[in-house]
Amino acid sequence: MAKTIKVVLAEDQGMVRGALSVLLGIEPDIEVVASAADGDEALRLVGQLRPQILVTDIEMPKSTGLELTARVRNLYPETRVVILTTFARPGYLRRALDAGAHGYLLKDRPSTELADAVRRVHQGLRVVDPGLAAEVWNAEPDPLTDREREILRRAGEGESTAEVAKALRLSDGTVRNYLSEAISKLGAHNRVEAARLARAKGWL
């Protein structure tokens, strides 16, 4: 196959970076021309090598995959970006698409999907994890008010009602009211579970 898709790979964990590189490299039509351990290095490599595709993690040192995506979008628009991440958070997906990503793939998915996603994005298609895409539309919006969120966050870190009240200069009872409200909105049974649920949704 003459037509080769050039890919740059950005991923901070060396072991995973190397393994993904091999995984993509065995495909006859894909060539990993370089890989980077952080966002800045990745941007430099994309500028130098002008790959058709950049595959990038989100959580990386120096600059995140989301920042990287936006920069690549502006500076080298001919390179399309596939986000590859652990996090199935609707908030991340939305921000990734806003930043101009063409693909959003979860590390949970079978490894066979990666090369496929690269090919599809190379052909100009969008590839978004189906479960996650659905979630974004149903997207229950964050039911918490700012106050509730802030108080739940602190309580979720281990601050007692009294400590939260002092820190925010509220009465003790008010803090308990907000927590009660938050617990009820989230369908939890106590502050710890409430904080955990909210965190999972990306609301904290």
Considering beta carbons, is residue 29 or 172 the nearer one to DNA? Answer: 172
When CB distances are held under 5 to 8 angstroms depending on the partner's kind, the choice from a copy of itself, DNA, none that residue 171 binds is: DNA
Among 29, 180, 196, 200, binds DNA (CB under 7 A): 180
Q: List Cβ neighbours of 184 (8 Å cut-off, separation of 6 or more).
A: none
Considering beta carbons, is residue 7 or 97 the nearer one to DNA? Answer: 97
Query: What CA–CA distance (Å, rounded) separates 160 from 172?
Result: 10
Q: Is 111 in the site for DNA (CB under 7 A)?
A: no
115-154 binders of a copy of itself (CB under 8 A): none
> In 10 A of CB 124, how many CB atoms?
8
Assess contact for 85 and 202: CB atoms under 8 A: no
> In 10 A of CB 90, how many CB atoms?
19
Phi, psi of 90 (to 5 degrees): -50, -35
Assess contact for 52 and 79: CB atoms under 8 A: yes
Among 22, 190, 196, 200, binds DNA (CB under 7 A): 190
Q: Is 84 in the site for a copy of itself (CB under 8 A)?
A: yes
The residues binding DNA (CB under 7 A) are 145-148, 155, 160-162, 168-174, 176-180, 183-184, 189-192
Q: What residues line the site for a copy of itself (CB under 8 A)?
A: 12-23, 26, 84, 86, 105-114, 155-160, 188-196
